[in-house]
Amino acid sequence: IITLTIFQSIDHCWKTNIFLEPLSHRFWKLTLQCIVRFRIWIETFNIKTIDTKFLVNLYVDLQTFSNEVKKFFQNIILGQRLSSIISLSPNIRIELTNILDETLLSLTDQCRKNLKNLVIEQLIDRCNETLHSIQEIPRMYRKTNREVNIKNINH
């Protein structure tokens, strides 16, 4: 939902009835700001309150988001909205493409690495909780003068 919302916001900025060519540099800046703020949000959210399933979905969504933004950039931004500017200076196409690629690369690479580490950390924490409970079993029997149960108990 989050990646969809950001993509829809970017799409909305470049719609024909909203986009103004004299302000194209500001629309471009806003597009990049949306992507960067999305990355900052991912880097700063609290791991303790986030579900592992959400993190995994976000991990997958990042690559999809990156691919969709690249398609949108080629088809809509360069292909339709900025075509007159690009015809004046062909180097702008290359520069804008490089800027977008760099921005998306920082989003996907760094954030996916962070998300992967967060998922691993959560899984380790869950395993540690279970192991801690197992470690407590001998201590429980020590205080009761009962023998430690060696046989499996059928429940």
Q: Average the pLDDT over 102-107 and give the result.
A: 93
Q: Which pair of structure tokens corresponds to residue 34?
A: 């949306």
Tell me the range of 65-69, 109-113, 117-121, 126-130 where mean pLDDT is highest: 65-69
Angle at which helix 111-142 crosses helix 24-44, to 10 degrees, equals 10
- In whole angstroms, what is the distance from residue 93 CA to residue 28 CA? 13
Domain ranges of the chain: 2-142
- Contact predicate 10/31, CB 8 Å: yes
- Angle of the 91-105 helix axis to the 52-72 helix axis, nearest 10: 180
149 three-state secondary structure: coil
State the average pLDDT for the chain: 86
* 118: confidence class by pLDDT, cuts 50, 70, 90: confident
Ranges of H-type helices in 45-90: 52-72, 83-88
Nearest to 8 by CA among 41, 24, 40, 31: 31
Over residues 44-49, mean pLDDT: 73
pLDDT of residue 89: 83
How many of the other CB atoms lie within 10 Å of CB of 66?
Answer: 21
Q: List the one residue out of 51, 42, 49 whose CA is nearest residue 115.
A: 42
What is the mean predicted confidence (pLDDT) over 134-142?
69
Above 90 in pLDDT, residue 131?
no
Asked if the model's pLDDT at residue 144 lies above 90, the reply is no
Which pLDDT score, from 0 to 100, does residue 129 have? 81
The residue among 84, 117, 122, 78 whose CA lies nearest residue 101 is 78
Share of the chain above pLDDT 90, in %: 41
